[in-house]
Structure 1
């Protein structure tokens, strides 16, 4: 995974704006009847997800090739009009407060943005499939969220990923943190939109045999630093993602992700015990094991070991302390 980066683009030249948008999203043609074509765009991105904030001071028509990614738009001001996607029976319009999917990844679209301030978040569809735990690619069945609550949860996930992870250099340099936040975003998308994932999961293999559980556990314990999902565990165990979930619940009364978290906490504890307080901080160790918020790490750590991580760090460095 390449390091996330922040790019700021500002121009009143329509050709330059078209070039930037084409390079950032997909080949497109834009136009404007206004002599004022001011655009300000802030972009943060990793390999699998990007989050942009755009402010267009003019009316811009667009005709865009397929993006190849899930593309979410959240309008703060202005409007989007005559938005037409290949296969739609008629164009749609969007106003401030609307959060929607621009188009399926494999379809072109066109329309007009009218002096709007809005955000664009794009996600690799493969991440959705991994998080959903399905064998076939996940597809959104509608461009609108199923509820206002789902839309608000998705909006919060987008803001967190953009502002607290991708835009924060100390956080963004940790691949595990970026991938965890990206999975959280994917889960929010799956919750907010109707998809084909639920029906597919309903028909999956429910073999929750202990041998499958042992294979999944062995895979977790051999790869705690990797960006793992239930789909990865299912592949390693040789059963469906649903079967892995059921096996952990039936035999250990937990979930695969909770088990993974405990294994990571064990590794973090070993690292704290072996570290010198002058060279290591709890925040650094927490970040290496997937925690963007030290407070969450401390809460989970204390619940697991009945002591604070800072206590482990300092006690481990004392002469005569245990391993």
Structure 2
């Protein structure tokens, strides 16, 4: 049964279904927008389950964006209400749209759900669902305003997300299968520092999801971009460092092009960070903090001077390991932090993360800019020749960036610059490819009855079989096991 549907504007197609969840103090918010019927009920049910996962004493379901409501959607709301009653919690409908009110009236369930015009913010003034421009008083982080359907349809889906009140741990969850909503979200995700310019727009779906937490100045989250996205990133005071979980992330900057894959850690946003990028089926862990955290320990005069990152990648593998340990510590801290703890823990964590980032990624705060000019002068084709010869002769050994640089008679940073300038890659990426080629040759020549893919991967330094298979598929468009079985045929 469809009640009072809102017809789409000709040529735009039907509105997509969008969900969003967040925690506000001891309450939770679930935002639903689009057509709620049998087809979209699973997505709505998943969002409501996520909201209930916060164990709220009250669940606010924002239905202002529902363009029509079927009985399947109403049954879902009634079932959710019954489940919450068993947990001594309540379900409130916020700013119900005309289709929602109409179905409640027809089915005689108008009095079952308490309704509110806005979501009450515990400890702050009310934030209007339909009028988010009037931000409430207090510390409120505002996510991008997402418009899921055209203005002509008459449904505005503006939301406020990741609201922190007295608790230091804030939570954000957002996902959408609407390419336009995803593009708008990505464009505005850094609303206070607009430094990302979208060149293309996502296509297909589901297209975008973010699940994150915040502790003081720190934001840690998992971000998924399913389609191919092209963007231009400009320097920013905000710093975001990302570790690739899966997918591909190709970047093009003034000093060359680099492809990032699973396990790679990169400064995605920050002072001096300027590049163009394309992503494909990308999932990353992102840790964000303001630039002020990096200069907090400096004198006012020193903190006022501009600074920048000199390299978006760690200087060596030990730096990558240090950053992975840092993010693991922040995850554990957010898992175990008391919801009512004071700000001291958050401030200490931010300083620790900033110190780790300055240790891992070359920057002018700790090294100055003069060494870069000397290293740049050593980034010659001869440096590349010596480094490549050393890598190919020692690929079976446990060699490091420092070993490669020593063999080329330059500093580690100089050999990095040389590879980027002349080969458009990094020394360690080249080492990985040399080892991958050697593993490929061994798989072709091996006896599949006595040799396993894991053994070959381990011999060539790939400790994780899954990572080895991913790199192998990217390079040869097939799987290692398929190559190994070629010998049998």
- TM-score bracket for the superposition, by shorter chain length: 0.5 to 0.7
Residues 166 and 19 (structure 1), Cα distance of their counterparts in 2 relative to 1, 3 Å cut: farther
1:159 CA drift (Å) = 2.6
Q: Choose from 255, 263, 267 the match for 1:101.
A: 267
1:112 CA drift (Å) = 0.9
CA distance in 2, matches of 1:29, 1:172: 38
CA root-mean-square deviation:
2.8
User: Does residue 211 of structure 2 align to residue 42 of structure 1?
Assistant: yes
Q: Choose from 191, 197, 202 the match for 2:365.
A: 197
CA distance in 1, matches of 2:188, 2:203: 23
Residues 44-73 of structure 1: CA distance to partner in whole angstroms, max 9, x if unpaired?
235533222112222222234544212211
Q: Choose from 320, 324, 347 the match for 1:155.
A: 324
Residues 259-303 of structure 1: CA distance to partner in whole angstroms, max 9, x if unpaired?
xxxxxxxxxxxxxxxxxxxxxxxxxxxxxxxxxxxxxxxxxxxxx
Match of residue 8 from structure 1: 173
Structure 1 SS opposite 2:323: helix
Structure 1 contact 29–63 (Cα < 8 Å) conserved: yes
Aligned pair count reads: 196
1:114 CA drift (Å) = 0.8
Question: After alignment, is 53-62 or 111-120 more displaced?
Answer: 53-62
CA distance in 1, matches of 2:173, 2:270: 27
CA distance in 2, matches of 1:149, 1:127: 23
Structure 2 contact 271–307 (Cα < 8 Å) conserved: no
Residues 35 and 194 (structure 1), Cα distance of their counterparts in 2 relative to 1, 3 Å cut: closer
User: Does residue 243 of structure 2 align to residue 74 of structure 1?
Assistant: yes
Extract unaligned runs of 5+ from structure 2. 1-138, 140-163, 369-489
Residues 167 and 19 (structure 1), Cα distance of their counterparts in 2 relative to 1, 3 Å cut: farther
CA distance in 2, matches of 1:117, 1:153: 21
Match of residue 277 from structure 2: 111
Match of residue 225 from structure 2: 56
Residues 89-114 of structure 1: CA distance to partner in whole angstroms, max 9, x if unpaired?
33322111110112443655321111
Question: After alignment, is 129-138 or 34-43 more displaced?
Answer: 129-138
1:183 CA drift (Å) = 1.1
Residues 211-256 of structure 1: CA distance to partner in whole angstroms, max 9, x if unpaired?
xxxxxxxxxxxxxxxxxxxxxxxxxxxxxxxxxxxxxxxxxxxxxx
TM-score by length of 2: 0.36
Structure 1 contact 4–45 (Cα < 8 Å) conserved: yes
Residues 107 and 97 (structure 1), Cα distance of their counterparts in 2 relative to 1, 3 Å cut: closer
Structure 1 contact 145–194 (Cα < 8 Å) conserved: yes
Q: Choose from 157, 166, 184 the match for 1:19.
A: 184
TM-score by length of 1: 0.53
User: Does residue 177 of structure 2 align to residue 177 of structure 1?
Assistant: no
Structure 2 SS opposite 1:91: strand
CA distance in 1, matches of 2:227, 2:340: 33
Residues 184 and 6 (structure 1), Cα distance of their counterparts in 2 relative to 1, 3 Å cut: same
Residues 173 and 23 (structure 1), Cα distance of their counterparts in 2 relative to 1, 3 Å cut: farther
Structure 2 contact 320–360 (Cα < 8 Å) conserved: yes
Match of residue 313 from structure 2: 144
CA distance in 1, matches of 2:360, 2:367: 16
Structure 2 SS opposite 1:127: helix
Match of residue 289 from structure 2: 123
1:167 CA drift (Å) = 5.2
Residues 172 and 131 (structure 1), Cα distance of their counterparts in 2 relative to 1, 3 Å cut: farther
1:192 CA drift (Å) = 0.7
Q: Choose from 142, 161, 164 the match for 2:332.
A: 164
CA distance in 2, matches of 1:188, 1:132: 16
Structure 2 SS opposite 1:158: helix
Residues 129 and 156 (structure 1), Cα distance of their counterparts in 2 relative to 1, 3 Å cut: same
Structure 1 contact 165–171 (Cα < 8 Å) conserved: no
Question: After alignment, is 59-68 or 139-148 more displaced?
Answer: 59-68
**Equivalences for residues 255-266 of structure 1 within 5 A:** none
Residues 108 and 14 (structure 1), Cα distance of their counterparts in 2 relative to 1, 3 Å cut: farther
Structure 2 SS opposite 1:50: strand
Extract unaligned runs of 5+ from structure 1. 201-323
Structure 2 contact 227–280 (Cα < 8 Å) conserved: yes
CA distance in 2, matches of 1:121, 1:150: 16
CA distance in 1, matches of 2:197, 2:335: 27
Pick the structure with more helix per residue: 1
Which protein is bigger by CA-based radius of gyration? 2
Residues 64 and 191 (structure 1), Cα distance of their counterparts in 2 relative to 1, 3 Å cut: closer
CA distance in 1, matches of 2:205, 2:309: 36
1:31 CA drift (Å) = 3.5
**Equivalences for residues 215-254 of structure 1 within 5 A:** none
Using CA pairs under 8 Å that are at least 6 residues apart, name the structure with larger relative contact order, 1 or 2.
1
